[in-house]
Chain A
Amino acid sequence: MKLSIVVELLDARVVSGSVSEEVVETGFCSDLMSDVLTLETERMLLITGMANLQTIRTAEMADIHWILLVRNKKATQEMLKLANELGIVMIETAMSSFRTCGILYNAGLKPVY
């Protein structure tokens, strides 16, 4: 699924990087970074309501290139700075985790398991 479609479906805002040519295959929703760090999936969209620096660090270590913040959580300036440095795309939506996942699943984004 094109990341630009994700943005459109969720009425979301791109706050770091560009979504133009990016394609995601799977989605994983968790506020628990420890669980995110157990995955070996590639081309995965991280869907989370956890908005702190460790969200970005987790993405960095796990080779995750796209983070979608849900529940109207906002990326802090520190998060944006680090995401920019690392080339991580960040998107924000006001929708709940459940609604976000429902919409993306229906639209064909695959689950990790």
Chain B
Amino acid sequence: MVRLRYEIEGGNFNRAGNASSNVKKVLKQLNIDQRLIKKVVVALYEAEVNIVAHAYGGYVSVEISPTQIDMIVSDKGPGIPDVEKAMKEGFSTASQKVREMGFGAGMGLPNIKKNVDSLEIDTIVGVGTTLKMTKLFNDAAE
């Protein structure tokens, strides 16, 4: 079992993606299938960018076992008032600054869901949001 944890700074786009980049390196070292790695890190990167874009700060915590990867991406931030709406492609509350970075088009959460096997969203308005994501390693041949 490999355990990794990274602190994420809200608003700092210079560092956005550093955690996902490190996780990608570790998965490569573990010889995980390249297509699976892409799905995992795209989901993780979207979630990491969400913290940078919307929250004050948070963390990414990852557990890699031989059969699956479990990821928790948790932030202190505004929370999501309407999760169902946030899951719809095209719905976004992102700032102009976030849009200037190439994000904030309302694709993040739907894309996360597409790339993992399970996604749980726990959110409290005014407190923060926690995403729990799992990707199984056994569908490499799909």
Contacts and interface: CB of A to CB of B under 8 A. Distances in A.
Contacts of B111: 34, 37-38
Interface string B100-120: 011111111001001000000
Interface residues of B, number: 25
B21 interface: yes
Contacts of B134: none
B49 interface: yes
Contacts of A63: 34, 38
A34 B17 contact: no
Interface SS, A side: helix
Interface residues of A, number: 20
13 contacts: A34-B103, A34-B111, A35-B107, A37-B42, A37-B111, A50-B101, A53-B13, A54-B49, A55-B102, A57-B17, A60-B24, A62-B42, A63-B38
Interface of A: 31-35, 37-38, 40, 50, 52-55, 57-58, 60-63, 78
